């Protein structure tokens, strides 16, 4: 029966995705100013699905076998997230910037660039999505492993 691994993947995926991190905060902010929310949410969900597939396929083990690569990814992500945190802190002192009447929608290209950077440069995405989901998927074999992965992906699309 494949429903149990699907639900297990969905529950794990939801527990990791629902936490408000930089990516979710950005999507929520874009929603407040009504700017490209559907496209950005779709990009995030598709990115999550690809990362989950990579994790279930064993990329987590491959990356952890190369500690220098892991450190480089973590450093690049930390630098980006630090810069984004500074910009977010500046915006916090100008809350009127979130009011739709006070803010012009961000151009789609700029919004996509930020969304992709928050997704692919975030060190937590590799720890949570690739390594953790990948590790939990090893408890299943064959079709059950696929059902687990689809469940985790479904959580991302549902969120």
pLDDT for position 79: 82
pLDDT for position 10: 96
Rounded distance between C-alpha atoms, residue 145 and residue 62, angstroms: 18
Burial of 89 (0-12, 13-18, 19+ CB in 10 A): exposed
pLDDT for position 100: 54
Residue 102, number of CB atoms within 10 A of its CB:
11
Task: Please provide the distance, in angstroms rounded to a whole number, between the alpha carbons at the two ends of the chain.
Answer: 25
* Per-residue tens of pLDDT for the chain, all 159 residues: 799 999 999 999 999 888 888 888 899 889 888 889 999 999 999 999 999 999 998 876 776 677 787 777 778 777 877 877 787 777 777 766 555 555 677 899 999 999 999 888 887 787 788 888 888 898 898 999 999 999 999 999 998
Dig out the tokens for 133 from the structure.
């989901």
Entry pTM: 0.77
Q: What is the DSSP string of 38-102?
A: HHHHHHHHHHHHHHHHHHHTTHHHHHHT-HHHHHHHHHHHHHHHHHHHHHHHHHHT-GGGGSGGG
């Amino acid at each position: 029966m494949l429903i149990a691994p699907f639900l297990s993947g969905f529950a794990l995926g939801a527990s990791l995705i629902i936490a408000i991190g930089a990516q979710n905060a950005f999507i929520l902010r874009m929603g407040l100013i009504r700017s490209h929310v559907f496209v950005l949410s779709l990009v995030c969900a598709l990115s999550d699905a690809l990362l989950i597939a990579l994790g279930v396929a064993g990329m987590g083990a491959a990356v952890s076998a190369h500690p220098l690569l892991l450190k480089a990814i973590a450093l690049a992500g930390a630098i980006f997230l630090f810069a984004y945190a500074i910009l977010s802190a500046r915006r916090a002192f100008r809350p009127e910037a979130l009011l739709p009447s006070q803010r012009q929608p961000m151009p789609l290209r700029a919004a996509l660039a930020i969304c992709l950077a928050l997704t692919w440069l975030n060190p937590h995405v590799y720890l949570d999505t690739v390594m953790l989901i990948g590790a939990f998927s090893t408890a299943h074999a064959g079709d059950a492993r696929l059902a687990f992965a689809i469940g985790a992906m479904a959580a991302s699309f549902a969120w």
